[in-house]
Amino acid sequence: MAKGATKKTTSTKKTKDPNAPKRAMSAFFFWMQENREKLKKPGMGVADVAKAAGVEWAKVTDKAKWEKKASDDKKRYEKELAAYKGEK
């Protein structure tokens, strides 16, 4: 190969099975569902809201409520995934 030349690679994107169960959400995303409207201000983009949420999430001291929801959702996902893999 010549100096400075780049090797072209072709990759194929793996298709997602529409019957697969949805992934479990993290504690942050459960918190975000409840607090998104409080954080949004007119003119803020999605990235701006996410940045503001990250700052606020870091200030939260008692995250047990959302961590419990995340734990329950993880159990749900594992159960659905086992059933999904069992049917394949």
| Contact (CB, 8 A) for 84 and 23 | no
Q: Is residue 82 situated within a structural domain?
A: yes
Each residue's pLDDT expressed in tens, for the chain with a length of 88 residues: 566 666 777 778 888 888 889 999 999 999 999 999 999 999 999 999 999 999 999 999 999 999 999 999 999 999 999 999 887 6
Q: What is the pTM of this model?
A: 0.75
Q: Is residue 24 situated within a structural domain?
A: no
Domain count within the chain? 1
Q: What angle do CA 30, 55, 74 make, to 5 degrees?
A: 25
Range of the domain at 71: 63-87
